[in-house]
Amino acid sequence: MSHQQLVRDEFSRQAEAMANAPAFSAEAIMNRFKDSLSPKKSGVMLDLACGPGILLAGLASTMKLNVGVDLTPKMIQMARAKCLAANLTNTRFLESPAENLPFASHLFDCVVTRLTLHHFMEPIYVLREVKRILKPDGLLVIADLISSEDSTETQLHNALEQLRDPSHIRMLPESELLQVVHDAGFRVISTDHWLQQRQFGEWAAIVENGRSLKSLEVVMKTMAAMGLTAGVNLRSSSGSVEFMHHWMFVVAQPVSS
Ligand SMILES: C[S@@+](CC[C@H](N)C(=O)[O-])C[C@H]1O[C@@H](n2cnc3c(N)ncnc32)[C@H](O)[C@@H]1O
């Protein structure tokens, strides 16, 4: 099966749970995006791999026009329905791979993307495509999860994420994330970091949809008991597994070529 088909299958399964998961609706992250985008207020925004449209709907009223693209048809349907229900008439949605966007060059004032880079086979291709469609003074705002700089920890962490969600490719260490943004032709303006406490139950529930992740829970519990933290502070507390997701927020501008 191609990776694109895997993504479509996986995110069709996850769409409903994701749309209702508190982890996806945190107001603090929405406010970070709003603050970073204030120089582009009333502009044209693209939400790249918009999923069920949570971020796009939260930002829509500050922009003139908001476009959401995603590979998964069910995500596009849900994002469209969400904006329709909220009477957000300045929103448009398209099914498209992030690697090959159906837009003319230099069209967008800003591109936002959340929880997406770790699903792309080649993040650099996607970011080069983003550079193409951004205006020369446009803004790219990324929020994604990062992994440890230690190669064993990053491998272990990403293996656990892949066992939970087979469409997961790789959460990058911070240094690699910054490198790929740079190599794609951007200058980083600011970065920020924060931690998100996760419980195995809510993390698994977003993807389970009839599938059991009991074996993964056993693996993670055993790792925690052995002191293997996978760079995410993996631990077992009162019989349940917990860990910390490390978020990174990057605001960048295209470098003129
Ligand atoms: C974890 S969800 C995040 C959704 C949304 N950005 C949010 O934060 O609420 C990842 C999304 O990326 C989409 N996706 C994954 N790979 C993609 C690709 N190559 N092109 C476009 N969309 C992709 C999936 O369909 C899914 O909706």
Domain ranges of the chain: 3-148+166-196+245-254
User: What's the confidence (pLDDT) of residue 250?
Assistant: 98
Sort 31 into a burial class: Cβ within 10 Å, 0-12 / 13-18 / 19+: exposed
User: What's the confidence (pLDDT) of residue 194?
Assistant: 96
Q: What percent of the chain has pLDDT over 70?
A: 100
User: What's the confidence (pLDDT) of residue 156?
Assistant: 97
Q: Are 124 and 225 in contact (CB under 8 A)?
A: no
CA–CA separation, 105 and 128 (whole Å): 11
Residue 228 amino acid letter: L
Q: Which residues of the chain have pLDDT under 50?
A: none
Best mutation site among 11, 12, 128 for ligand 1, i.e. most ligand atoms within 8 A of its Cβ? Answer: 11
pLDDT tens digit string along 34-88?
999 999 999 999 999 999 999 999 999 999 999 999 999 999 999 999 999 999 9
pTM of the predicted protein model: 0.96
From the CA of 225, how far away is ligand 1's center (Å)? 33
pLDDT tens digit string along 118-127?
999 999 999 9
From the CA of 228, how far away is ligand 1's center (Å)? 30
User: What's the confidence (pLDDT) of residue 166?
Assistant: 94
Burial pattern 48-79, b for ≥16 Cβ within 10 A else e, equals bbbbbbbbbbbbbebbeebbbbbbbebbbbbb
Q: Are strands 134-146 and 108-114 parallel, antiparallel or unpaired?
A: parallel
From the CA of 41, how far away is ligand 1's center (Å)? 24
CA–CA separation, 234 and 143 (whole Å): 22
User: What's the confidence (pLDDT) of residue 1?
Assistant: 80
Which residue's alpha carbon is at the smallest distance from atom 8 of ligand 1?
114
Residue 129 amino acid letter: E
Q: Which fold has domain 3-148+166-196+245-254?
A: Rossmann fold (3.40.50)
